[in-house]
């Protein structure tokens, strides 16, 4: 028995449809069924679709990509072209606004979880151990993200070295 989970592929536009067709062709008989509600095809991080320009300047590639998105990337039963960003292995990849929103939401959730943890137990040592072993581990994947570039400057000041003279 085997599983295919959280696969990420970087492909040239002209290969997207072929790759997804081959994945379906070979995967389905082996039990690897693509979940089109979770599959995302990111074409841009500028919040603007590339499909209109692609259809105009490269109609074959535009039609192929449009068809691939329609068949394999759905959200609420509708074709979904990702144009802002994706979460790849827990890290935000995309526009500055996508990364900022992702980091703020994730840190807010972690803060709430930590507050719930601290409010539920009375023993300080148990709280500390649970926080160290569980809660903080949920943040490790954010380390490669550019957290400080998206931090609110009023609440996150850089460390300054002071000369002692």
Digit-coded pLDDT (tens) for 103-148? 888 888 888 877 877 777 778 888 778 777 776 676 776 766 665 5
Region of residue 10 (phi > 0: left; psi between -120 and 50: alpha; otherwise: beta): beta
Higher pLDDT: 99 or 135? It is: 99
pLDDT value, residue 96: 86
Average pLDDT over residues 6-22: 92
Percentage of the chain with pLDDT > 90?
39
Widest CA span in the chain: 73
User: Is 86 in a helix, a strand, or coil?
Assistant: strand
pLDDT band at 12 (very low <50, low <70, confident <90, very high): very high
User: H or E segment at 153?
Assistant: none
Q: What does 87-118 look like in DSSP terms, one character per residue?
A: EETTEEEE-HHHHHHHHHHHHHHHHHHHHHHH
pTM above 0.95, yes or no: no
Spatial neighbors of 121 by CB under 8 A, at least 6 apart, are: 127, 130
pLDDT value, residue 2: 55
Measured CA to CA, the distance from residue 24 to residue 77 in angstroms comes to: 19
Percentage of the chain with pLDDT > 70?
81
pLDDT value, residue 81: 95
Measured CA to CA, the distance from residue 142 to residue 103 in angstroms comes to: 8
pLDDT band at 62 (very low <50, low <70, confident <90, very high): very high
Average pLDDT over residues 76-86: 93
């Amino acid at each position: 028995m085997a599983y295919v989970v959280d696969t990420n592929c970087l492909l040239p536009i002209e290969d997207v449809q072929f790759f997804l067709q081959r994945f379906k062709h070979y995967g389905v008989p082996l039990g690897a069924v693509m979940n089109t509600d979770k599959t995302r095809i990111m074409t841009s991080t500028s919040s603007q679709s590339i499909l209109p320009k692609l259809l105009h300047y490269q109609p074959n590639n535009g039609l192929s990509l449009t068809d691939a998105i329609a068949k394999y990337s759905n959200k609420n039963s509708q074709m979904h072209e990702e144009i802002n960003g994706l979460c790849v292995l827990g890290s935000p990849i995309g526009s500055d606004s996508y990364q900022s929103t992702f980091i703020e939401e994730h840190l807010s959730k972690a803060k709430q979880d930590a507050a719930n943890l601290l409010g539920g137990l009375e023993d300080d040592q148990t709280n500390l151990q649970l926080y160290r072993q569980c809660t903080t581990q949920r943040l490790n994947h954010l380390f490669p993200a550019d957290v400080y570039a998206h931090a609110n400057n009023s609440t996150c000041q850089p460390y300054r070295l002071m000369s002692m003279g």
